[in-house]
Structure formats: C-alpha cells, structure tokens
Amino acid sequence: MPSERPLVDAAGSAVEIVEVGPRDGLQNERTLVSTAAKIAYIEALVAAGARRIEATSFVHPKRVPRMADAEEVMAGVPRGDGVRYIGLVVNERGLDRALAAGVDEVNVVVVATETFSQRNQGMSVLEGLRSFSSISARARSSGLRVTATVGASFGCPFEGEVDPAAVGALVRSCVDAGADEIALADTIGVGVPSDVARLVAEVRAVTTDLPLRFHFHNTRNTGYANALTAVALGASALDSSTGGIGGCPFAPAATGNIATEDLAYALRRSGVATGLDLAALVSAAALIGGELGIVLPALLGRAGDFPAGLSPERRL
C-alpha cells in the first residue's frame, strides 16, 4: 500500500536517474544542435556520473529531423565506465538501426489512449502493443533490455482523464510481451502525487517485481513532488533532463522534463543516492543551454547548491 512508504520516508534508498536530455530534451527544443555538440553534451553527462542515457531516437529522419544523426551520435559517445545507452525505437526498421548502432537498451512507447496513439504513432493502442511485442521479441533475442514506456499514463491531451485500470491492463500486456521494465509517463505534466500512488498500486497488482520507472514533466509544477513520491513508493528509476530541457517547440507553453540537477538536489537532501555530481550536472546543463540559447527551466544552477555555496541573502 502507498501509505506504508510515504514521500518523507525514502532515506537510505537509491534510485537510478535515466538522463533523457539528449533524446527527449533535444528533440523537443526549437534549436538544432550539431552532432558534435550532442556528443560533447553526452560526454559531460557521463563525467557528471550519468550511467544510463537515452541518447537518441531511431525514427524516420523526415518525421523527426533532429534525430537524423542517431548513428553518428552512437558512434561518438564514450564507452565503458558501466554507461548504458538507450535508443528510442518506434518500429522494426528503427530496431534494425538501433542494433547496428550498438545501443545497450531500447525504449518503445505505447500510448494509453486511442486518440493520442493515433495522432502520435499513427496506430491504435492495440496495434501499438503488437508493434511493441515484435520489437521486444527481436531486441531480447539480440540480448538487449527492453523498456515499455506508457505515454499519457496520467492524462491525455485529447481525451482528458485516463483510467488507471486501463493503464494497468496495458502494462500487463507489455509485461506479457516481454518488457524488462515499465516506464509510466506523465507526457503532458498533469499528475499529482496521489495519481502516482494510484498508478503504482494498479501496476503492482499486475506485475509485482518488474523494475518500475517514471517519466515526469514539470508542466504545472507538480513534477518534482511526483518524482519524490515515486521514489518513496519504490520506483527503481526516474527520467530527467539536465537543465530541464525539452519544452515542446510546437507548444511553447509546455515546459520540459524535470531537471536532473534539481531532482538530484532533492534526492540527495532526502537521503536517496543517485551517484550524480551536482556541480558537474550544472556544468553539463550550462553547456547544452548555451548550445540551445535558452534560459534553462532548472533552478539549481541559478540558486546555487546548499549548504555548500550559501544562498544569497533575502529580505524577510
């Protein structure tokens, strides 16, 4: 039950941060970034302690031109130190490319609602599930770990509220189809901690011990509360992007992913280990923020760490 592990009681645990800045972040920013800059960014992330990085997407270059250099990025990233690279894959052709490019894992998105699935994936939820099943079987036979990310798990931009039981049923199908990990995504940033608890209960009812990962956006300032709640409820991994990059270019109102450095600050102070170096994360964020020419949504880089490097005075 959720209430057995409240948000305030996660001290002593650890969580894995999946850095999604190079993929979800850069895909959803207006400015194009060169392949060399992407590789330098990933190098900075690895130097900051990132050990699991969603590096790129193997999608048709006409559909997402920003990810057209997937092979070149993968050819240039630093190897070793236990770093694992994830490639987003949307179909069998993408899987072929991901395998050839040498990714360590694949991530496949299935969408929780029909309208969003049709609009984003061009297929029904059931067709998306069948596609996941084919990709998953081949990826696993090639020795790759496979994550099923359930998009719009917390709400849909077209259909509104999403039934947690429907998310649970979809998760069950993904597990049956061979998922090594389930990721629940609040794609449009509408959820609150009680939604996290409800979904954890639904998902745990259909899969007791599979690794559970969450993907939050801070669109309405609930992302960090959700992330801390997920950790307290036993999530093994959280997605985030350094700097909080990933505000959608087609929707200027939307803010990006929760920021890795702000998340790592909150987790460190909560007694939860991440293996990340906060100062190095802030540097990596500044690097990519400079490439993008944007004011980053992340706050730690502006405010400074605490208590090392004390904060500016404030009039009461």
- Residue list 199-228, contact with a second copy (CB under 8 A): 218-222, 224-225, 228
228-238 burial by CB neighbour count: b if 16+ within 10 A, else e?
Answer: bbbbbbebbbb
**Contacts of a second copy in 279-298 (CB under 8 A):** 298
Q: Which of 96, 67, 69, 70 is nearest to 85 (CA)?
A: 70
Indicate whether 121 belongs to the interface with a second copy (CB under 8 A).
Answer: yes
Q: Binding a second copy by CB under 8 A: which of 169, 175, 192, 294?
A: 192
State the Cα angle at 122 between 164 and 152, rounded to 5°. Answer: 25
Residue 309 identity: G
Token digits of residue 71: 């092979």
Stretch that binds a second copy, among 77-85, 97-105, 130-138, 150-158 (CB under 8 A): 150-158
**Cα separation of 314 and 316, whole Å?**
6
**Cα separation of 111 and 23, whole Å?**
18
- Distance of closest approach, residue 78 Cβ to a second copy, in angstroms: 27
209 or 313: whose CB is closer to a second copy? Answer: 313
- C-alpha 123, offset from chain centre: 22
Indicate whether 306 belongs to the interface with a second copy (CB under 8 A).
Answer: yes
Q: Binding a second copy by CB under 8 A: which of 76, 157, 178, 211?
A: 157
Stretch that binds a second copy, among 44-52, 133-141, 283-291, 308-316 (CB under 8 A): 308-316
Indicate whether 45 belongs to the interface with a second copy (CB under 8 A).
Answer: no
Burial-class residue 141 by CB neighbours within 10 Å (0-12, 13-18, 19+). exposed
- Distance of closest approach, residue 187 Cβ to a second copy, in angstroms: 6
- C-alpha 209, offset from chain centre: 20
Stretch that binds a second copy, among 76-84, 139-147, 174-182, 258-266 (CB under 8 A): 258-266
Size of the site for a second copy (CB under 8 A): 79
Nearest-10 Cα torsion for 286, 219, 108, 106:
20
From 40, 248, 286, 294, the catalytic residue: 248
83 or 121: whose CB is closer to a second copy? Answer: 121
**Cα separation of 224 and 304, whole Å?**
18
- Distance of closest approach, residue 146 Cβ to a second copy, in angstroms: 17
Count of other CB atoms within 10 angstroms of residue 32: 12
39 or 182: whose CB is closer to a second copy? Answer: 182
Q: Binding a second copy by CB under 8 A: which of 14, 102, 269, 273?
A: 269
50 or 110: whose CB is closer to a second copy? Answer: 110
Residue 32 identity: L
Taken as a whole, the chain contains a residue count of: 316
Residue 156 annotated as catalytic? no
- Distance of closest approach, residue 43 Cβ to a second copy, in angstroms: 26
Indicate whether 122 belongs to the interface with a second copy (CB under 8 A).
Answer: no
**Cα separation of 268 and 264, whole Å?**
6
Active centre residues (catalytic):
248
